[in-house]
Structure 1
Amino acid sequence: MTTIDELQAAVRAFTDEREWGQFHTPKNLIMALTGELGELAEIFQWLTPEQADQLDPQQRKQTSDELADVFIYLLRLADVLDIDLAHAVRSKLASNGSKYPVDQARGNATKYTELRTSSGTD
């Protein structure tokens, strides 16, 4: 299994070989990430929910490529900002676990600020 650190190192090496680090400011990486998210959204923009669940081979390939682009920019941004993504994800999951207790959040999409009032508990 490939680790996040290994992927970040591969992206860093790819960037360093091309001397692109000078362009990889946090602002530029966020803008590039946003652009790639837009390209991912474009694949699904006019699909029905059923079509989105049943992508054809070309759409799956496009989706795979765009997800990779998004992840590459995300990895690079975290690397440039010296943020440990694995730690950040584990920390955020713990925080979200507190905001969304299983007994209150299971099976609904209620925002955490409304969970206690909508469940009838205090």
Structure 2
Amino acid sequence: MTGFAERSEGVTLEGLRKRMAEFAKERDWDQFHSPRNLLLALVGEVGELSEIFQWKGEVPSGLPDWKDEEKEHLGEELSDVLLYLVRLSDICGVDLGKAALRKLELNAIKYPVKLCKGSSKKPTQINVPDNNDGSSNGGVTAISNSDSKSRSDVSCAGMAVASALSTNRYSSLTCLE
């Protein structure tokens, strides 16, 4: 071993990206690291991670009932997923750290604390006022999986809600229960 594990403090996505690129280059694996191949490898690792939890039922945070060997195995599979994700983002030219921070910002708009705290509802299930002036006729504008709308319509609805929230156009939005 090269002692990587002993130097875990200060690990960054950029540091992992560089190490993964160097690791692949040293082994002449760049030729195999197409986005498709990396994605399939990532999915395989997610499958291995899933198997760890498959028959355990609900598991409390911190895994208090797990043996050290089980936790170590979990760490290895989580690491495989992370490393393939970092490598895939690098090969695709995506700055994963920047993309993740942007996604957090979008999620903060999409799921504002004051409207969605304690609710697991999707933004497409948010109660939106009926009228352009912000008043409501008592109806609910919500899209569920059972509606006959396409996935893109649902995504557009979610983005419309996020846009409305970001501009404070609708101050009375609430998550449906």
Question: TM-score, structure 1 length as denominator?
Answer: 0.91
**Matched residue type, 1:71:** L
Which ranges in structure 1 are unaligned for 5 or more consecutive residues?
none
Q: CA deviation at 1:105?
A: 1.5
Matching residue within 69, 90, 107 for 1:96: 107
Which range moves more in the overlay, 44-53 or 54-63?
A: 44-53
1:44-63 correspondence runs (5 A): 44-50=53-59, 53-54=63-64, 55-63=66-74
Residue 149 of structure 2 is matched in structure 1 by none
Q: CA deviation at 1:48?
A: 2.0
Residue 33 of structure 2 is matched in structure 1 by 24
- CA offsets 1:76-113 (integer angstroms, 9 cap, x no match): 00110110011100111111111101011211211111
Cα distance in 1 for partners of 2:70, 2:113 equals: 35
Are the equivalent residues in 2 in contact too, given 1:26–1:77 (CA < 8 A)?
Answer: yes
Matching residue within 78, 96, 109 for 1:67: 78
User: Size of the alignment, in residue pairs?
Assistant: 120
How much identity, in percent, do the aligned residues show?
38
Q: CA deviation at 1:51?
A: 6.5
Is 1:41 the counterpart of 2:50 in the alignment? yes
Cα distance in 1 for partners of 2:83, 2:50 equals: 17
- CA offsets 1:26-54 (integer angstroms, 9 cap, x no match): 00000000000000000000002147733
Residue 4 of structure 1 is matched in structure 2 by 13
Which ranges in structure 2 are unaligned for 5 or more consecutive residues?
1-9, 129-139, 141-171
Divergent runs of 4+, >4 A: none
Cα distance in 1 for partners of 2:27, 2:59 equals: 42
Cα distance in 2 for partners of 1:86, 1:51 equals: 29
Are the equivalent residues in 2 in contact too, given 1:104–1:116 (CA < 8 A)?
Answer: no
Cα distance in 2 for partners of 1:26, 1:40 equals: 21
Are the equivalent residues in 2 in contact too, given 1:29–1:77 (CA < 8 A)?
Answer: yes
Matching residue within 59, 62, 87 for 1:76: 87
Which structure carries more relative contact order (alpha carbon 8 Å, separation 6+)?
1
User: CA 1:91–1:103 in structure 2 vs 1: closer, same or farther (change >3 Å)?
Assistant: same
